[in-house]
Amino acid sequence: MKFLLLFSACLSGAFALADERPNLLFIMTDDQGYWDTGATGNPHIDTPHIDSLAIEGTQFRRYYAAPVCAPTRAGVMTGRYYLRTGLYNTRFGGDSMGTGETTMAQLLKQAGYRTGLFGKWHLGKYPGYQPQERGFDEFFGHYHGHIERYEFPDQVYHNGTAVEARGYVSDLFADASIDFIEATATATDDPFFCALMFNAPHSPWLLDTSHYAQPEGDKILEKYLKRGLPIREARIYSLIERVDDNVGKVLAKLEDLGLAENTLVIFTSDNGGVSKFWKGGMNGNKAGTYEGGVRAPFFARWKGTVPPGGVVEGQVSHVDLLPTFCELAGAELPADLVLDGKSLVPLLEAGEGGTHHEYVYHTWDRYFPNPDRRWAVSDQRWKLMAQFGSDATPSPSGWRLFDLESDPGEKKNLIQKEPEVAERLRREFVRWFDEVTDGITYAPIRIPVGHPGEDPVEIEPSWASWEGDHINYTFDGYDWDTIDGWKDPGETATWRLDVVEAGTYTVKLSYGCRPLDAGGLLRVSSGDSMIEHTVQATTTAEQFGLFDAGTIELNKGEVGMTAEVVSAPGLELMRLNGIHLERVK
């Protein structure tokens, strides 16, 4: 349900809670389920520092994220359901939040907060979409949905610049947030907003892998194996315990700096869980619309202000965070900003509450939004949902209705007994879906080319649309994706570009090619300009080289660029890993 917030900075609610604006520490993990903490009843996992936030603060038992990560992150940052923002996917170029969106970091910065984000962003990697351009004074982390190396991570950036880092990634992000908090507290009088966005426990489920540190990581893993967990589950629990250790470090630093009394700490996760060993009776996992796919842990601690041991039963949403933080910060909201979220301040102040949102909505499909394949809507009691696989045809016969008050594990489908309830909820979901998607075209963003902040620019395979009987896209960790299999003349991959400066651009191709397949011809064209490149061999098709292909003329504005097979003598033309474009000076 949308809320048009017309008020400016109104601090009455915030000052009813505290004498001054609080610091804001927002901690979000990646793929940690509702059941993956001791505070939510898990008897097998050790999370003492995370649990302390629930004990010393208030626990929200029906906090809802989106089914997957980028949609949740867009909702957190904007206070709006992700479909309003143009974002619609976790890859394929659909994981970029529209540049017209106003973020909580921008609003808090305008209100005098120093802002930092450390960890996973996943709302856009190209110029104009990066965190330091969306309101954050400091950013150290990664753009993609996950990274491949947890030790010595090689896919991390600092304020838009690729950097190298030493150590284990959860430690790195926590240490960076500690340094940010300490620098802000000692060198300025500004309050801070620190977003600590751990990429754990998202796969790959890796503990310390360096020569010196691996034995320490193995100790945690061995502990959970001895408790009877399968290796997959032991790895996930071990990653969560490493997160918990780092949460403890950050909380200890707040105490050391004397900031604990005036810092609101929120802990949550970005979607439902991936672990399956113990789920507390909940149904479903990440990417689905059962409760296990959309409920996440949510603990709020503000010593002396938020009641300790509090429990909120009312359903709340990730879109509530922006209006909450802005109310507490006294941040002025644009008069025409349409929000879906509602401030949680009254619930925080009371430490309890049985209602908040009349309805909460969930939907996600791998490729493009639709209201039929994977969706849910709930009120405080009832939930209507559907979850169809890619090989199934959506039909009302597959809808499920659950009474969450008597059946929180979603075991008994009551749709035949309560058809009027199902009809009401479905009608409300369709109304909402039509509203949030109205007038929006969902497609990969146009990739900025010739932008002074990123020249050269790398064009990724996943952002293409492709045509041909043999052409294939292989996903393998974002930076190692390829367009492959193509061999017939006329098979194509096409990208949407936004050329900032017209002119001549050098074209470099990153690809791998078996020696026996070398000698094919690839044409790269945009408008009337084109170049052709004879494919060279690498040691194996999975080893990528960077090859000069020539120069091409690009017109300013919105253009397309196409890579096309001219000829291929072998099994495939090449495995194209990327195209690098750089404006000739």
Query: What is residue 367's predicted lDDT score, i.e. its pLDDT?
Result: 85
Closest to 51 in 3D by CA, of 267, 282, 313: 267
Residue 222 identity (one-letter amino acid): E
Q: In the chain, what percentage of residues exceed pLDDT 90? A: 94
Average pLDDT over the chain, rounded to an integer: 95
pTM of the model: 0.96
Is there a contact between 197 and 119 (Cβ–Cβ < 8 Å)?
yes
- Torsional class of 353: left (φ above 0), alpha (ψ -120 to 50), beta (otherwise): left
pLDDT for residue 19 is more than 60:
no
Q: What is the pLDDT, as a whole number, of residue 180?
A: 98
What is the second-level CATH architecture of the domain 3-356? 3-Layer(aba) Sandwich (3.40)
Q: What CATH number should be reported for the domain whose range is 374-437?
A: 3.30.1120.10
Q: What is the pLDDT of residues 520-565, one digit of tens each?
A: 999 999 999 999 999 999 999 999 999 999 999 999 999 999 999 9
> In this structure, which CATH number among 3.90.1150.10, 2.60.120.260, 3.40.630.30, 2.40.30.10 belongs to the domain 447-583?
2.60.120.260
Q: Where do the H-state alpha helices sit in 419-525?
A: 419-437
* CA neighbor of 21 nearest in space, from 324, 296, 274, 293: 324
User: Can you tell me the distance from the alpha carbon of 568 to that of 295, in angstroms, rounded to the nearest whole number?
Assistant: 50
* Surface-to-core class of residue 107, CB atoms within 10 Å of its CB (0-12 exposed, 13-18 middle, 19+ buried): buried
DSSP string computed for 350-396? HTEES-S-S-EEEE--SSS--SSSEEEEE-SSEEEEEE--TTS---G
Per-residue pLDDT tens over the stretch 191-242:
999 999 999 999 999 999 999 999 999 999 999 999 999 999 999 999 999 9
Amino acid residing at 517: D
Indicate the pLDDT class of residue 448, thresholds 50, 70 and 90. Answer: very high
Q: What is the pLDDT of residues 130-180, one digit of tens each?
A: 999 999 999 999 999 999 999 999 999 999 999 999 999 999 999 999 999
| Non-local CB neighbours of 112 within 8 Å, separated by 6+ positions | 190, 191
Q: How far is CA 261 from the centre of its chain?
A: 30
Catalytic residues, by residue number, are 69, 122
The mean pLDDT value for 468-481 works out to 96
Domain boundaries of the chain, sorted by first residue: 3-356, 374-437, 447-583
CA-wise closest residue to 493 among 517, 514, 509: 509
